Amino acid sequence: MRRFEFKARVYYSDTDAEGIVYHTRYLDFAEHARTEMLREALPDVPQSELAKGENGIIIVIRSMEIDFRSAGYLDDELTVYTEMIDMQHFSCTFQQDIMRGDKVLCSLKVKAAFISSATRKPTPIPDNIRKAMIG
């Protein structure tokens, strides 16, 4: 499956008074990376259009495992590596590693479910997303 790389910088708003990254900000870095991965995989489909229409979808987080390994600091340049490690009929699982250089700061295993924007019930992963993410 595809492996995606997303660069992020740690800003003052990401840190506490000591310049250490808030633990919740790792979730934001991971979310941004998954969003940009989807944006790259489907360059002709604006994010704002995914949920619209009769066949609109919403991607929601079903579960998440997080392993905080080391602190990030103000001004760090981070790389978030994202890989889809499993794809089922209604859901997929991502492995994400947030790194500073060669050091893993945080690892996440994220299960995302696909739901219909019209019914708010599980819906199969659309073929265009399935093909783009495997690519």
| β-strands 77-87, 3-9 pairing | antiparallel
Which active-site residues does the annotation give? 16
Q: Which residues pair with 122 in a beta bridge?
A: 115
| CB atoms inside a 10 Å sphere around CB 113 | 17
Q: H helices within the chain, ranges in order?
A: 25-41, 127-134
Q: How open is the CA angle 55-56-59, to the nearest 5 degrees? A: 130
Contact 127, 45 (CB under 8 A): no
> Under DSSP, is residue 66 helix (H, G, I), strand (E, B) or coil?
strand
